[in-house]
Amino acid sequence: MIYAEFENLETERLLLRKLSMDDLYDYYERIGSDGEVSKFMLWEPHQDIGETLETIEKALAAYEEGRYYRWVAVRKADDQLVGTMSLLRFDEKDSSCSFAYMFAREFWGQGYATEAMKAVFDFAFEKLEIERIYADHFAPNAASGAVMRKLGMSHTGTVKEKYEKHGRKLDAECYELVRRRGPALTADEYQQQAMRSLNPALSKHDVLINGVMGLCGESGEAIDIVKKHLHQGHDLDREKLIKELGDIAWYLAETAFALDVSLERVLRSNLEKLQARYPEGFDTEKSINR
């Protein structure tokens, strides 16, 4: 990753720029003092405008120091302050960062968070050359999870009791988005390219046996990595686990090839089954009585 100059960003409805003293009263009224905005954040509502002033002063000082990426979003139509968003927790070794955003309550549910964060993500990937963006949210905050999914992020797990708010322990739902290089790869394209490494001397019967055995073996390898993390005190070896998942994908493609079906058909068949079982999304009762 690299550290680039701060840039104003623009979307269809929003202008994203630096926070300024001109935002003091709007920030205090719409974000800083609103307990609903801070409900799922680690900070508490500002008791007076002096706390908001201190927040903005710190931001202005950070802009001067550089390597600080915090935007305030204002509507182009009327210049109203909509929210604020930041890139933070940079890890140069891992080429990764996290992010945070807050939006005024009157603008919730109108797609502004997704619209603004897409522009911020583009800046992170293109200007800072970030490889991975990650974040989490308090488990009860389902709206943030919906935004992260709309941004194309993948759910990577749940951390039990990561946060505490008002004496209550809260789980964290974790997400990540990895930088895409080149055009998207379809399932069938992957299968076609992966099968170039298949031993041509094998019969279809042998390919089938090799495929299902490989699925079992590589799944065991993946399980072992997680087992060492959970029960033997090892750090979770993400890169090794990713490679094992790739091996599982290869054997899945091989098994489908042995059946003379496309990998896309396998995936679509699974989605159809899930959509029929959970038409409104996951439901515990339906998962038990299926």
Mean pLDDT by 10 residues, the chain (290 residues): 96 97 97 96 96 97 96 97 97 95 96 97 96 96 94 93 94 92 82 93 94 96 95 90 95 96 94 88 80
* Longest Cα–Cα distance in the chain: 76
Domains of the chain: 9-128 (3.40.630.30), 187-288 (1.10.287)
User: Whole-angstrom Cα distance, residue 17 to residue 71?
Assistant: 5
* Residue-level pLDDT at 182: 67
Three-state DSSP class for residue 290: coil
Dihedral sign (CA 134, 139, 141, 145)? positive
Element (H, E) at 62: helix 49-65
Contact between residue 137 and residue 176 where contact means Cβ atoms under 8 Å apart: no
* Residue-level pLDDT at 180: 76
Contact between residue 51 and residue 24 where contact means Cβ atoms under 8 Å apart: no
Residues in the chain: 290
